[in-house]
């Protein structure tokens, strides 16, 4: 739990002795989870429970076009889902236990792509992305389901930079800490896309890139799921503990 540190003096029999008073910080880091296309908050909730134990306020949610709003899947656009994330972010930031200056966003695939754009619209301290997908800027208001998948794969295999893509442009201005988790045998997000993202984070405070050996895009094996959970928990722990040490120094 975060704490504030105050140097005090204690009076004992007319003498002054030094002391330090540490009290729990009344606000904690906020963690926003954004699932991928075709996913849900179910996996995120499992990981959020562990991260909440570190002393964080976590929020998971279902993007429109998923779960209870599955009927919208054929009509929902990237713009609609970005608005979903903005509303979720604001709800997390407004929670009385959340420190609005210390918010992390954890996005998977499509959610990772939208999370990078979010960083240009709201303050984000830490950004974690697992297999972040990439989409061209055009057809923003076209239903996501109608985007040509074959053309998308060709696009993701191209060498692209911040001037070529809105999400990569957002990466270039991000100054926080970044985690990118790649799957070795990803059938949807090629290594080229991961490297486009990685090379675009030119101002990041720190960059961590991990590859899960033998993993596919959806982490279909329990071993790969556990490997990602371990990577994420270790990184979040490092970020939160380092931040708390900074608050005490």
11 within some domain: no
The predicted pLDDT at position 27 comes to 85
Q: Which residues, including other chains, have CB under 8 Å from residue 196's CB and lie 6 or more apart?
A: 134, 159, 160, 161, 165, 168
Whether residue 12 lies inside any domain: the answer is no
Residue 179 to residue 124: CA distance in whole angstroms: 13
- Domain of 216, in residue numbers: 26-248
How many domains are contained in the chain? 1
Q: In the predicted model, is pLDDT for residue 246 greater than 70? A: no
Specify whether the CB–CB gap between 132 and 180 falls below 8 A. Answer: yes
**What average pLDDT does range 107-133 have in this prediction?**
98
Average pLDDT estimate for 111-139: 98
Mean pLDDT calculated for residue range 221-249 = 86
Q: Are 155 and 136 in contact (CB under 8 A)?
A: yes
Q: What is the pLDDT of residues 165-212, one digit of tens each?
A: 999 999 999 999 999 999 999 999 999 999 999 999 999 999 999 999
Strand partners, 20: 7
4 within domain boundaries: no
Whether residue 46 lies inside any domain: the answer is: yes
Q: Is residue 21 part of a domain?
A: no
The answer to whether residue 178 is domain-embedded is: yes
> What is the per-residue burial (b if ≥16 Cβ within 10 Å, else e) of 55-78?
ebbbbbbbbbbbeeeeeebeebbb
CATH number at residue 195: 3.40.50.1820
Tens-digit pLDDT profile for residues 23-81: 656 789 999 999 999 998 988 999 999 999 888 999 999 999 999 899 999 999 999 99
Q: Which residues pair with 31 in a beta bridge?
A: 58, 104
Q: Is residue 1 part of a domain?
A: no
Whether 6 is covered by a domain: the verdict is no
């Amino acid at each position: 739990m975060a704490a504030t540190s105050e140097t005090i003096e204690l009076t004992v029999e007319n003498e002054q002795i030094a002391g330090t008073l540490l009290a729990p910080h009344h606000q904690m880091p906020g963690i926003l989870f954004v699932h991928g296309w075709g996913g849900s908050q179910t996996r995120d909730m499992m990981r959020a429970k562990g991260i909440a134990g570190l002393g964080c306020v976590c929020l998971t949610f279902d993007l429109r076009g998923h779960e209870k709003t599955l009927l919208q899947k054929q009509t929902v656009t990237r713009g609609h889902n970005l608005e979903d994330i903005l509303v979720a972010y604001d709800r997390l930031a407004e929670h009385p236990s959340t420190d609005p200056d210390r918010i992390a966003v954890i996005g998977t695939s499509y959610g990772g792509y939208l999370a990078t754009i979010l960083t240009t619209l709201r303050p984000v301290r830490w950004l974690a992305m697992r297999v972040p997908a990439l989409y061209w800027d055009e057809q923003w208001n076209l239903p996501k389901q109608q985007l040509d998948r074959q053309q998308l794969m060709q696009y993701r295999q191209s060498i692209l930079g911040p001037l070529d893509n809105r999400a990569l442009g957002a990466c270039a201005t991000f100054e926080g800490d970044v985690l990118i988790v790649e799957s070795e045998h990803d059938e949807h997000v090629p290594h080229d896309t991961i490297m486009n993202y990685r090379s675009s984070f030119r101002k990041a405070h720190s960059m961590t890139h991990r590859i899960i050996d033998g993993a596919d895009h959806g982490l279909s094996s329990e071993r790969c799921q556990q490997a990602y959970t371990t990577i994420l928990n270790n990184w979040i722990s490092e970020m939160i503990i380092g931040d708390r040490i900074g608050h005490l120094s």
